[in-house]
């Protein structure tokens, strides 16, 4: 929560944040971690079941998109940073409202696609994946807007089930969370790249 600042956003927006942790800090995108997340949801009975939202960064973002592709999913909308995907099983899922951020200089999960750092899988280029989500959601209109000196928003609207897709391209951004506190951004820049302050991913997701 320190990285995202969601605790402060939650206090202002009066919503509950639940932050499950993956085993050894790494989500299993093809195994039983989805069942674990369902158990976490079940453990919060006071939550409004119609207003559950999933978000994450890197592998956490990957897990968020796994949830978006679940035909029996329990989350209403999805927010991701620095790892996206559209697998064949996503075709059977209903339209999914999505907001997504990715830096063009991400050295861990390359913006232009290819194998992520230390992995033997090959990812599709980010723009292609987001277009695929827009197609899946049945969106009929699109627009592009520069929303910051280094950030461009591509938005697909008029989608089925109001499942719009927002994709923020961060020029020069690294494997980082947009809007993270500057002391965190400074500490991680040498290893993970630059953090934009032009937009705040947490507030835009909410």
CA Rg value for the chain? 16
Range with lowest mean pLDDT among 2-11, 74-83, 126-135, 136-145 = 2-11
10-56: pLDDT as tens digits: 999 999 999 998 887 788 888 789 889 989 999 988 889 899 999 99
Residue of 82, 69, 53, 85 whose CA lies nearest to 205: 53
Task: Examine the pLDDT at 121 and tell me if it is beyond 80.
Answer: yes
Beta bridge partners of 56: 80
Order of all β-strands in the sheet with 53-57: 53-57, 77-81, 98-103, 165-170, 151-157, 141-148
- Note the pLDDT of residue 93: 97
Assign 16 to helix, strand or coil.
coil
CATH of the domain spanning 6-205, picked from 3.30.70, 3.30.1490, 2.60.40, 3.40.50? 3.40.50
Question: What is the pLDDT, as a whole number, of residue 117?
Answer: 84
> What pLDDT is stored for residue 158 in this prediction?
99
How far, in Å, CA of 98 to CA of 134, rounded?
Answer: 9
């Amino acid at each position: 929560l320190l990285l995202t600042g969601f605790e402060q956003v939650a206090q202002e927006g009066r919503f509950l944040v639940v932050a499950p942790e993956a085993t050894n800090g790494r989500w299993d995108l093809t195994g039983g971690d989805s069942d674990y997340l369902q158990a976490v949801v079940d453990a919060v009975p006071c939550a409004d079941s119609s207003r559950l939202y999933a978000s994450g960064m890197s592998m956490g973002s990957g897990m968020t998109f796994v949830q978006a592709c679940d035909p029996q999913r329990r989350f209403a909308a999805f927010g991701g940073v620095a790892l996206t995907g559209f697998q064949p099983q996503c075709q059977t899922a209903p339209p999914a409202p999505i907001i997504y951020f990715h830096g063009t200089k991400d050295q861990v999960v390359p913006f232009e696609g290819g194998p992520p750092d230390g992995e033997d899988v090959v990812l599709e280029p980010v723009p292609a994946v987001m277009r695929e989500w827009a197609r899946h959601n049945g969106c009929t209109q699109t627009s592009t807007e520069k929303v910051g000196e280094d950030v461009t928003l591509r938005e697909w609207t008029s989608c089925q089930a109001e499942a719009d897709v927002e994709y923020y391209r961060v020029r020069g951004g690294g494997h980082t969370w947009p809007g993270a506190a500057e002391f965190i951004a400074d500490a991680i820049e040498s290893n993970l790249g630059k953090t934009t302050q032009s937009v705040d991913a947490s507030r835009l997701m909410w």
